Amino acid sequence: MAIVQTGSVLQFPALGSANTGTVSTTITVPADAELVIATWTGYSSTANFFSTGGMTFTKGGVDTAMTNVPGGDSNTGAWMAAMFYLVLPDTGSNKTLKWDWLGTAAAGDPNSICSVTFWKGIDTASPVRNSQGTQAGSLPYTTATITAASGDLIIAWTGFTNAAASEATIDTWSNLTLLSQITFSSGADGALATGSPSGNTTVAASTGTNVADGGIIAASFKASTAAFVSPTFTDWHDGYYDLELVSY
């Protein structure tokens, strides 16, 4: 089963610089969603500000810790990116996404942006095969080699600051295709992309317009291995065919 997006890309801009907060309490999760991914673009003078902290999403009716995909916020000399995921979130309306970053003092950039996407066709028992992240003072932002296999889907997030306090865009990618260009919020901007690898690969946000320093995080997500079960009619027995379930 292929991994595909379900629902639309949600954007939440200008979330402030506080150490803790709530992105939204009114998120609607599609009924068929098996994975939620939250991404963040922002900056802090504290290394690992986002990844050492964390985000929570509603699962089982309570705020549940999301898993961090590391690699986008260790260098305080560049704009930062963060990615978190959670399998089998609660579906339906009025779900809550919160953050709690490293430390206790407000240290983040007030123009931070969060985006949220939902996916299905995921191996919910072991969703991520491998991930890589990096930061740089200018494009391209290129990851180290990501362990991947045919059937995986690479989901990549790049968070960056724009060069002219206006909309910035990633114009070309390496081994990725644009999913969504995020609308900027003052100095914060970002973009989502996906790729279908045939094996191990690097990915990159290669060229752009108005893009300055930033980072990229990419993970190879594994597709569901659930078998397709087909009814097969076998031996004639007492005037009837026996029914056998065959998995493929």
In eight-state DSSP terms, residue 48 is: T
What is the CB neighbour count within 10 angstroms for residue 225? 10
The predicted structure's pLDDT at residue 117: 98
Per-residue pLDDT tens for 91-128? 999 999 999 999 877 677 888 999 999 999 999 999 99
Domain residue extents for the chain: 4-247
Sorting pLDDT into bands at 50, 70 and 90, what band is 239?
low
Q: What Cα–Cα distance (Å) separates residue 107 from each residue in 18, 99, 102, 131, 140? A: 7, 13, 9, 27, 27
Is residue 208 within 8 A of residue 130, CB to CB? The reply is: no
pLDDT digits (tens, 9 = 90+) for 190-220: 999 999 999 999 999 999 999 999 999 999 9
> In degrees, to the nearest 5, what angle opens at C-alpha 205 toward C-alphas 19 and 146?
85
d(CA 15, CA 120): 28
Euclidean distance between the first and the last CA atom of the chain, given in angstroms as a whole number: 12
Render pLDDT for 142-174 as a digit per residue (tens, 0 to 9). 999 999 999 999 999 999 999 878 899 999 999
The per-residue pLDDT for range 30-72, each reduced to its tens digit, is 999 999 999 999 999 999 999 998 999 999 999 999 999 999 9
- Token digits of residue 32: 């068929």
Confidence (pTM): 0.90
The predicted structure's pLDDT at residue 238: 54
| Band (241; pLDDT cuts 50, 70, 90) | very low
